[in-house]
Structures are given as C-alpha cells and as structure tokens.
Amino acid sequence: MSVPADTRGYYHAAYVVAIVLYTGYVVSLWWRARRLNQ
Amino acid sequence: MTSTAVPTPPTGNSFRVPPPSPRLPGAPFLVFDWLFALAVVGVIGAIVRIIFFTPIEATQGAAQKIYYVHVPAALSAYLALIVCAVMSMIYLWLREVRADRMAESAGEVALLFTTAVLITGPLWGKPIWGTWWTWDARLTLTLFLWFVTAAYLVLRGAVDDPIMRARYSAVLAVLAALLIPFIHLSVYLFRTLHPMPIVLKPSEPSLPREMLITFSVSSIAFLFFCAMLMRSRYRLALLRERAGIV
C-alpha cells in the first residue's frame, strides 16, 4: 500500500476557513443585535 | 387687515430625518438562546470526533477529512435554500410578512453555507485533482447558485418598497431552489471531475462504518446549526421590525 502524500496543510486550511466563516457570521448577528441596544 | 406669512413645513422631496429607533435592551440575548448554544456544542463535538476519532483515508491522506465539513455544508445550504423557497411560496400565496422575514433569514444563511462549500471544495480538490478549480457541471452550477443567492440578498437591499421587495425576491428564491436537483444530479447527467455521491445515493453507502458514523454525526450537527442560525437571524429580523427598521 502506498503512503499517502502529506495533505495536512489543505485539511487544516479548510477547517480554519470554515471556523472563521461560521464564527464571523455569528459575530455579525451578535453585532447587529447589539446595535439595536444602543 | 394685515396678513402675515405663516411658514409652512417643507413638502415633496424634502429630506426627512427618521425618528430615532427605540432601544431594545438585551437584544443580543434575544437572538441567541440555549438551543443555539446546544448547536454550537454539537458542531464542536463533531469536529473533535473528526480530528481525533476518525481514521485517515489510505490514498488521499488527511485531505479526505475535508469531506466531513464540505458535504454537511452543502446539505445545510440545500436546507436553507429550500426553507427560503418554501417561505417565499407561502408569502406569494398568503402575503404573510413573517414568511418573507423567514425567507430573508434563510437566504442569508444559504449564502454562508454555499460560500463554505465553494472554499472547502477547492482546498480538497487541489491535492486530489491537482487543480483548484475546473469548469465542470457540479462546480459551475454551485458557483451559479452562489451568484443567484447573492443576487437575492442584493435585490432585497436595493428595493425600498417592502411589498415589492418581498414579491420580487420571493420569485428569485423559488427559481434559485430549482437549481438544487440539477446540482445534485449533475454528476450523473454530465461527465464531471467531481466524484459521485458515496452516501446520498439509492444503493448502500460506500464509506467504512467509522467514517459513516463521523459523516452522520457531522451532518446532523451542521444541519441543526444551520436551523439555529436561521432561527437566530429570524429573531433579529423581528427585533429590527420592532425597532421600526423595515
């Protein structure tokens, strides 16, 4: 069986991008709700 | 008898300053609640399982694990778009403003998940296919769906009249949802570089048991997270309405 190429960089990049995207959207919802406070 | 000129208020195209919106104390806590927190915990749990308790695939290496975030994001985008289209149809039928608010919320969440699909896909494709992008049917149709969903939100921001805005955008949402079956079946209808479904197909799933469990856990967690995002965005829309922002 051949050893798979090291593709961890792409794997880590995909998860970091996904987490940043989802967290950013949640923060944007929080920010828009917070503006209704002020 | 003398007459005095009485100043009249400006009319016509004069600029009017809108009255200040009422303050809504604790608004962020009305948007997010314990169910949302549960969805976040579910997604974190799924990611922990993907990273620490799922084997690495023999030929693709670690990049195959992108599958567990790429496909659930696609399923979540489908869910949000279907909700957007169904609520749009309800609006067109009943003229119910709440349905328009829900469609708007689902449309925004659909754009978020379609963006995640279009970013994680090339990050998986580069090490496996040797290219970031190819203009095959599945990828091109997904990109087209992203543009239509973005156009839906731009249209909503461009039309001032709430009734016309709801009507125009509802028609566009229904048309956008018609793309979903074409996207899903594109790998059968055309010769594409994108692989065929290995779980969502008529026959048995082609994944080993451990990977199938991880995929199922991740899909359920992301679909629940998607539903909670739509719910929170809908609550924000209701708060904006209460504050007089239409």
| pLDDT per position as a tens digit, B161-212 | 999 999 999 999 999 999 999 999 999 888 888 888 777 777 777 788 899 9
Residue A5 lies in a domain: no
Name every chain A residue with its beta carbon within 8 A of the beta carbon of B40: 26
Measure in Å the smallest separation between the Cα of A6 and chain B Cα atoms: 7
pLDDT the model gives residue B90: 97
Q: Is B32 near chain A, with CB under 8 Å? A: yes
Residue B9 lies in a domain: no
Residue span of the structural domain in which B125 resides: 33-242
When divided into structural domains, chain A yields a total of 1
Residue A1 lies in a domain: no
pLDDT the model gives residue A5: 72
Name every chain A residue with its beta carbon within 8 A of the beta carbon of B244: none
Counting other chains too, the contacts that B69-72 makes at CB distance below 8 Å and 24 or more residues apart are B69/A14, B69/A15, B69/A18, B69/B116, B69/B120, B69/B218, B69/B222, B70/A14, B70/B116, B70/B117, B70/B120, B70/B121, B70/B124, B71/B199, B71/B215, B71/B219, B72/B215, B72/B218, B72/B219, B72/B221, B72/B222, B72/B223
Contact state of A14 with B26 under an 8 Å Cβ cutoff: no
Residue A32 lies in a domain: yes
Contact state of A4 with B58 under an 8 Å Cβ cutoff: yes
- What does pTM read for this prediction? 0.88
Residue A34 lies in a domain: yes
- Above pLDDT 70, what percent of chain B? 89
Residue span of the structural domain in which A23 resides: 14-38
When divided into structural domains, chain B yields a total of 1
Measure in Å the smallest separation between the Cα of B119 and chain A Cα atoms: 7
Name every chain A residue with its beta carbon within 8 A of the beta carbon of B73: 18
For the segment A5-17, the average pLDDT, to the nearest whole number, is 92
